[in-house]
Amino acid sequence: MNHLYYGDNLTVLRKSIADESVDLIYLDPPFNSNATYSHLFKDESGQVSGAQIAAFDDTWHWDDMVSGQALIELRDSPHQDAAKMLDAMVGFLGKNPMTAYLAMMAVRLVELHRVLRPTGSLYLHCDPTASHYLKILLDAVFGAKHFTNEIIWKRTNTKAHAFNRFSSSHDVLLMYRKSENFVWNAQYEPHSDSYIKSHYSNIEEGTGRRYTLGDCTNPNPNRPNLTYEWNGVTKVWRWTREKMQKMHDDGRLHYTKSGVPRFKRYLDEMKGTPISSVWTDIFPINSQAQERLGYPTQKPVALLERILNASSNPGDVVLDPFCGCGTTVHAAQKLGRQWIGIDITHLAINLIETRLYDAFEGQAEFTVHGVPQDIGGAQKFFDDDDKTKKEFEKWACGLIKAYPQGGGRKGADGGIDGLFRFGPAKEHTAIVSVKGGKNVGVAMVKDLDATVTEQKAQIGVFLTLTPPTKPMLDWARGAGTFQVEGFDPVPRLQIITVEDAMGMGPRAVNTPLRHGNPYKRAAREQDRTAQGALDL
């Protein structure tokens, strides 16, 4: 019942996710990793048309074929409020990276509203750069009356480098519900020592239990059925006479000098302090955190566990349409929820598969969609990929657990599509070159040979979709070997077919010490029902 999709989440939502089939949605939309805008409100002609704001992480440009089409789709949809709101934003802000981003989000929010059950909730994670615009869009899609909370998550300590403003240290989570009938499980944090000392200072003789005293009277003076004499005092009491007698018999009442009873509220019966909308007890992933995988925008599992515990129940379906490194699906798997994850990069899909395998010792069951399952699917994927073939290269690198080199980083004599490290201290490097075309030849293997030498790597892996030619194999055999002390020598250049990599995974590469995932191995989940650590 768990599903991991590779592809555009808009397409997946429309084709694969049924109406009202999801109980909880968490999304952390990407804010642009490939560009820096000093003026995000700069229009497409390069003129500054608004205030300077912090840059997003991902590049968004207004494109009438994409952004404009999203606006047209909204105008033709039943969600006229969302269409009017986006029209107004574009009219006010202009056609720029911000409104391109908002157009992308608007059509997806409409689909997310469609797939959410009437009892469901949505949490949208963002930073203050765009939270105010996203909230307006959410009001238009869900209805302003269904706005529930603006949650402030303190994600980092105060930075010392903010000299002309207050230092930014928080993210925003916007919480919406679909209806007035919703799932809600209140969350609590342990009382602090200072709170216990100040509010539970009484210690019961004999048991040693801490308690505080509560009022036994009723705030409503017009309750005839609760008005009676007790211990010589007539008042409007909190309980019926029978319940008051039971409280007395159980030793739960403390009598003042005037004879007025007060009831004992024991510390060990209290759940703790209710969690407010400001979260300061969940720390971000730092360089020393055990759960850190190396993914740049990774969120802590404890953050998602709080959301899932509050707004879903075991067995419910949780959806993350921008699932990145898979923290949401990890938390859902741990807490016994069903889950759906969607991401548009093969790097993320490969990382999530490996993360779940490591954390749950191969016991996490799920179906991966949109990823080639056989050599025919691999060929189709290559043919359907865009002109750069970069997604195919990332996918192929993932087969042997190599880290894709994003833009096809070039060495002096060839391309580097991926790499992985191996050895006791990961001190050795293997460079990967991926080729999917039919015209592979010995010149490409020679290029890889030169790149391995120029980059001072130890092994070169030529990963090919089509079978290698005899001259290619001859050149690889003549390229020598690499040896780690205590291990047999291995070929310095290795030609591996995509078909072999699909069947064997990392074992298709002959290394002195088997290499693994380029990201840090996910820690195993020992107690899968326990709340994740809130302190690192």
Per-residue pLDDT of 479-496, as tens digits, reads 999 998 888 999 999 999
What are the tokens at 421? Answer: 């490290």
DSSP structural state of residue 325: T
CA 409 to the chain's CA centroid: 28
What are the tokens at 161? Answer: 């480098």
Q: What is the pLDDT of residues 367-410, one digit of tens each?
A: 999 888 889 989 998 988 776 688 888 889 989 988 887 544 44
What are the tokens at 465? Answer: 């979709």
* 3-class secondary structure, 205: coil
Q: Angle at CA 311, nearest 5°, toward 146 and 320?
A: 90
Q: Look at residue 305 in the predicted model and tell me its pLDDT.
A: 96
Strand partners, 157: none
DSSP run (H or E) holding 13: helix 9-16
User: Where do we find the tokens 């699906």?
Assistant: 329
Q: What's the rounded Cα separation, in Å, for the pair 165 and 170? A: 14
Torsion of CA 105, 107, 16, 337, to 10 degrees: 40
pLDDT at 323 over 70: yes
Structural domains of the chain sorted by starting position, each given as residue range(s) with its CATH number in brackets:
3-186+279-367 (3.40.50.150), 193-269 (no CATH), 380-508 (3.40.1350.10)
Q: What's the rounded Cα separation, in Å, for the pair 138 and 146? A: 9
pLDDT at 414 over 80: no
Q: Look at residue 388 in the predicted model and tell me its pLDDT.
A: 62
Q: Dihedral of CA 437/443/449/453: which sign? A: negative
Residue 334 and residue 313 in contact, taking contact as beta carbons nearer than 8 Å: no
pLDDT at 526 over 70: no
Global pTM? 0.76
Residue type, 427: E
Q: What's the rounded Cα separation, in Å, for the pair 49 and 37? A: 13
Q: Look at residue 534 in the predicted model and tell me its pLDDT.
A: 41
* 3-class secondary structure, 264: strand
Residue 401 and residue 433 in contact, taking contact as beta carbons nearer than 8 Å: no
User: Where do we find the tokens 């009001």?
Assistant: 139
Q: What's the rounded Cα separation, in Å, for the pair 257 and 187? A: 38
Strands (E), 35-169: 116-126, 147-154
* 3-class secondary structure, 525: coil
| Rounded mean pLDDT, 235-247 | 96
Residue 49 and residue 146 in contact, taking contact as beta carbons nearer than 8 Å: no
| Rounded mean pLDDT, 137-159 | 90
Q: What is the pLDDT of residues 273-292, one digit of tens each?
A: 889 999 998 887 766 666 66
Q: What count of other Cβ atoms lies within 10 Å of the Cβ of residue 395? A: 24
Residue type, 426: K
Judged on CB neighbours under 10 Å (0-12, 13-18, 19+), 138 is buried
Q: Within 13 A of 135's CA, how many CA atoms are on the CB side?
A: 17
Strands (E), 231-337: 233-236, 253-255, 261-266, 273-274, 278-279, 317-320
Torsion of CA 448, 450, 451, 454, to 10 degrees: 170
